[in-house]
Amino acid sequence: MNIILFDDEFRVNLLPLTYTRPCGNLRVGIFTIAQKWENYLSCNVSYKTKEYLSRKYKAEIDNHNIFINGRYLPSDGFCEVISNLRVNEIIFDKKTVVAFKIDKENATNFIKDNFSLAELNVLKTDFECSHINFCYDIFRLNGDEIEKDFKLIVKKHKTAEISRTNQLISEQNVFIEEGAKVEFSILNAAKGPIYIGKNAEVLEGSLIRGPFALCENSELKMGAKIYGPTTIGPHSKVGGEVNNCVFQGFSNKAHDGFLGNSVIGEWCNIGADSNTSNLKNNYAEVKLWNYTAQKYLKTGLQFCGTIMGDHSKCGINTMFNTGTVAGVSANIFGTGFPRNFIPDFSWGGSSGFETYNLEKVFEVAKIVMERRGVEFNRDEQDILTYIFYETSKFRVWENAVKKI
């Protein structure tokens, strides 16, 4: 079975996270959406995404191809429907395309945006399945997704031995991969499973309440306080107090400070003693910046912290207001609260911003990525260059300079 996860028009509601990746490459729960499909169906998964991302995230076409909306999260029932799809059949969730199956020729044309889905036979128009519409859905749905992913893992694997130096509650809901290290910590899985990935390490004195996932090669610092549902993606270091957050991976929050109800992209760094407000003083509904509407929209949430795009950094003692969006490659520092929307490639803080020089962006990205053994190649550089120019309209100070 060959699956291609496609981005639909609602991808823009997941910016800034989807500036640097397809929807299907987002991590919700233990796995990314693509990894979930690979685990459920033991299949090959690739992407149909925006052209500027397609060199890094290529579509792989076979004789028969099932295209699935990259925002939709697999389940046993969903997988059964997908497995029974016939060629030229399509499924809708009301007006949203969920999945369809086509042959090699039509798939090639669809990748080139040269194929009409109106030619397909409609199998369902009322298919409902869990999916993400906005960035905050990632932390909102994270608990359910950790539960689902955990079940997939324990079906196929057995947990490694857990050190007796730890205090465990509901030990049957704790899974430790081979090579992981956990010592002198408290793991409470009574309200949700706890997963510790391959070669990950939980340092002494950590307090963890599930649902929680610490992915491959990540580290929980000494004395960390983790409230689920929280996911720390691969190759990350996290400490301090964290509540209902998702780190996509390759990011650090290594020191004290509070982060709650937030999503952090890749290659981010949160400085020591930085704090995020996740609740307004008047307990009102949180509004969040929307790139498409170009204004703040209601979330329906009382708790919402920070959404941070890839390659963004903040200095020590940074304070983020409730419902803050920081774009791709923002560099934030200084006293006081910066604005609730920090545009992509911003440099500064509450006293004002200027544009982060693109060559400096490349220089820092190269250093940061190479520390994790990842090459900052031409594809990565071209993606950041595209985003830099695409987001210039949000850096209002640039427009002011042009008018002068």
CATH of the domain at 370: 2.160.10.10
Of 133, 168, 184, the one marking the end of a domain is: 133
Strand pairing category for 331-332 and 2-6: unpaired
CB atoms near residue 272 (< 10 Å): 15
Residue 56 is assigned to a structural domain of this protein? yes
The confidence score (pLDDT) of residue 189 equals: 98
Distance CA 382, CA 270 (A): 25
Residue 80 is assigned to a structural domain of this protein? yes
3-state secondary structure of 388: helix
For residue 149, the enclosing domain spans: 137-399
The confidence score (pLDDT) of residue 401 equals: 52
Same domain membership, residue 229 and residue 88: no
Residue 222 is assigned to a structural domain of this protein? yes
Same domain membership, residue 127 and residue 209: no
Strand pairing category for 181-182 and 201-202: parallel
Same domain membership, residue 190 and residue 106: no
Same domain membership, residue 95 and residue 164: no
Note the pLDDT tens digit of each residue in 174-219. 999 999 999 999 999 999 999 999 999 999 999 999 999 999 999 9
The confidence score (pLDDT) of residue 404 equals: 44
Same domain membership, residue 389 and residue 253: yes
Residue 345 is assigned to a structural domain of this protein? yes
Outline where DSSP puts E strands in 267-323: 269-270, 275-276, 287-290, 295-298, 306-308, 313-314, 319-320
Of 93, 108, 133, the one marking the end of a domain is: 133
Count of domains forming the chain: 2
Contact 102, 120 (CB under 8 A): yes
Distance CA 290, CA 342 (A): 12
Same domain membership, residue 58 and residue 200: no
The confidence score (pLDDT) of residue 138 equals: 99
Distance CA 266, CA 311 (A): 6
* 3-state class percentages of the chain: helix first, strand second, coil last, to nearest 5: 25, 30, 45
Of 84, 103, 133, the one marking the end of a domain is: 133
Residue 240 is assigned to a structural domain of this protein? yes
Residue 404 is assigned to a structural domain of this protein? no
Contact 168, 182 (CB under 8 A): no
What is the pTM (predicted TM-score) of this model?
0.96
Note the pLDDT tens digit of each residue in 117-137. 999 999 988 898 999 999 999
Residue 393 is assigned to a structural domain of this protein? yes
Outline where DSSP puts E strands in 172-294: 174-176, 181-182, 186-188, 194-196, 201-202, 207-209, 212-214, 219-220, 225-227, 230-232, 237-238, 241-249, 252-253, 258-266, 269-270, 275-276, 287-290
Same domain membership, residue 152 and residue 60: no
Same domain membership, residue 148 and residue 117: no
Look up residue 42 and give its amino acid: S
The confidence score (pLDDT) of residue 124 equals: 85
Strand pairing category for 96-103 and 64-69: antiparallel
Same domain membership, residue 143 and residue 71: no
% of the chain with per-residue pLDDT over 90: 97
3-state secondary structure of 35: helix
Note the pLDDT tens digit of each residue in 30-48. 999 999 999 999 999 999 9
Same domain membership, residue 106 and residue 147: no
Same domain membership, residue 305 and residue 158: yes
Same domain membership, residue 164 and residue 128: no
